[in-house]
Amino acid sequence: MRERLKANCDVLRLSDLVDMGQAKAGEEIVQADLADSQAVLAMVKDCQAIVHFGGVSVEAPWTPILQANIIGLYNLYEAARLHGVKRVVFASSNHVMGFYRQSEVVDALSPPRPDGFYGLSKAFGEDISRLYFDRYGIETACVRIGSSYPEPKDRRMLATWLSYDDLHRLITACLTTQVLGHSIIYGTSDNSISWYDNHLAKHIGYRPLDSSDVFREAVYARTGEPDLSDPAIQFQGGGFVKIGPL
Ligand code: 15L
């Protein structure tokens, strides 16, 4: 999103745990460890809005997830509160809901069923953002991103795919809708096969313009018949439901 998000602001402040090199025109770079509260405080100073895509983004052992996704989220919301930032777009994940079946459709009110420590940490992010909305009025869009890649890589991603352009449209909608509140929205393109119902997020005004449908035949042709006894085929979280010590 680095290039696309420049259209949304005068100055785009970027941050990562690792060195991002030189800032380009219209950018600032603040290297920060999310688990370091002082570093996060400095990162958030003077920001008008936060698009939080940091942290561990796949299933992983508990310790790094605790540091970046749990303590890191607390540090981020404390920094937002202290600096008066009023809007956050939080990259949540479909893995908050990974143990729903691929034969089910979930909406924003379906109870979370995380498929691992990663999904659990995203459910925590959704909860802490709700607390900071209820107490301090910091609005957050919890975007349960499906699979954002140039193309769907497998049959599961026909349901979860989110094009880069639609992801940018979605972030833009979250940043610009007049009243966001604390909202949960599924981040996918306009895919005919879908496990997600966004009828409770109409106020955000997101309209996907892309669809996995154009890739469907090719994906079917290059992938084998699914083994219906495989949990990765049964559950929405796909292979994530089988990763790690759980
Ligand atoms: C995610 O949450 C991950 O960040 C991403 O790497 C994908 O694996 C995606 O979910 C997915 O479910 O395909």
List per-block mean pLDDT (blocks of 10 residues) for the chain, which spans 246 residues: 97 97 97 98 98 97 97 98 98 98 98 98 98 98 98 98 99 98 98 98 98 98 96 98 82
Report CA(25)–ligand 1 centroid distance (Å). 30
Q: Does the Cβ of 239 fall within 6 Å of ligand 1?
A: no
Task: Please identify which of the residues 74, 77, 100, 118 carries the catalytic annotation.
Answer: 118
Which residue, 165, 172, 168, 199, is CA-closest to 185? 199
Q: Does the Cβ of 149 fall within 6 Å of ligand 1?
A: no
Q: Is 118 a residue of the active site?
A: yes
Which residue, 91, 87, 81, is CA-closest to 118? 91
Give domain 4-242's CATH number out of 3.40.50.720, 2.40.50.100, 3.40.30.10, 3.40.190.10: 3.40.50.720
Report CA(18)–ligand 1 centroid distance (Å). 21
Which residue, 141, 83, 93, is CA-closest to 119? 93
Whose structure tokens read 């940490």?
121
Cβ proximity of 159 and 146 under 8 Å: yes
Atom of ligand 1 lying closest to residue 156 CA: 13
Rounded to two decimals, what is the model's pTM?
A: 0.98
pLDDT confidence of residue 244: 81
Report CA(202)–ligand 1 centroid distance (Å). 24
Q: Does the Cβ of 11 fall within 6 Å of ligand 1?
A: no
Report CA(148)–ligand 1 centroid distance (Å). 8
What's the angle, vertex CA 56, arms to CA 11 and CA 35, rounded to 5? Answer: 75
- C-alpha to C-alpha distance for 193 and 207, rounded to whole angstroms: 16
Question: Domain limits of the chain?
Answer: 4-242
- C-alpha to C-alpha distance for 195 and 166, rounded to whole angstroms: 17
**Cβ neighbours around 44 below 10 Å, total:** 24
Q: Does the Cβ of 156 fall within 6 Å of ligand 1?
A: no
Coil, helix or strand at residue 166: helix
pLDDT confidence of residue 246: 53
In terms of C-beta distances under 8 Å and separation of at least 24 residues, what long-range contacts does 102-107 make, across chains too? Answer: 102/156, 102/159, 102/195, 102/233, 102/234, 102/235, 102/236, 104/195, 104/236, 105/194, 105/195, 105/196, 105/197, 106/186, 106/195, 106/196, 106/197, 106/236, 107/196, 107/197, 107/198, 107/199, 107/200
